[in-house]
Each structure stands twice: as C-alpha cells, then as structure tokens.
Amino acid sequence: MSAKLSDVLELAGDLLQQSGYCKGPLATNIEGSAVSIHSPRAINFCLWGAVCKAERVLEYDTRDGYRFLLGAMGCERDPIGFSESPETTSLQASFVLWKAAELARKEGR
C-alpha cells in the first residue's frame, strides 16, 4: 500500500513527539546546531522540517500539504509563523499536524 498525504502529516506529528522540536532551522543536532533533515544527527525538527522528514521516510511528495496545514489552523495563522512563535509547544505543533492529517484523510488523501 502506498503512502497518502494523511500518512505523512500524521507521521510528522508523531515525529515531533518522538524526537524533539526546534524553531528556526528545519532540523538541529544534539548541540542545537542546524543540520539537514536527512542527517543521521538530526534529532529535533520544526513543524515543516517534520513534514519534510516524514515525506522522505514514506517516499511521498507533499506539494499540497501546506493547504491542509492552513485548514487545520482555520486559515487564521500562517503555519510557519505558528511554528516559530515562542509560545508554540511541540504538542501544539503535533496537534496541528494531526488535525491536518484528519482533514486530508476526509478528502481521501
């Protein structure tokens, strides 16, 4: 069975809870320095970095994933701005990703 967009978004939410959450770069290492999301040293991910990592793991191109993130947030905030906000926690970012996955699943994506 091939992956769907909802699988990628759900995995991204899970990834933030299983690894770690960062702000700024897409991924950081244990020292907090920016690294590629593909680096084996990447242990923390921002919201979009987690999506990119999940799409790589599941071999799925999420070109329209951003639309579902906007829908999950009610189009009230920019997902990247939300992710970078000092008040945003990893759990809140994961909830947005899980909600986006639910919206994609409802559309059969």
> Which of 4-13, 76-85, 96-105 comes out lowest in average pLDDT?
76-85
Distance CA 48, CA 30 (A): 19
Residue scoring higher pLDDT (22 or 72): 22
Domain ranges across the chain:
5-106
Chain segment 4-58, per-residue pLDDT in tens: 889 999 999 999 999 999 999 999 999 999 999 999 999 999 998 999 899 888 8
| Whole-prediction pTM | 0.86
Distance CA 65, CA 89 (A): 21
Could you tell me whether strands 27-28 and 44-45 are parallel, antiparallel, or unpaired per DSSP bridges? Answer: antiparallel
Comparing C-alpha atoms, which of 89, 76, 22 is closest to residue 49?
Answer: 22
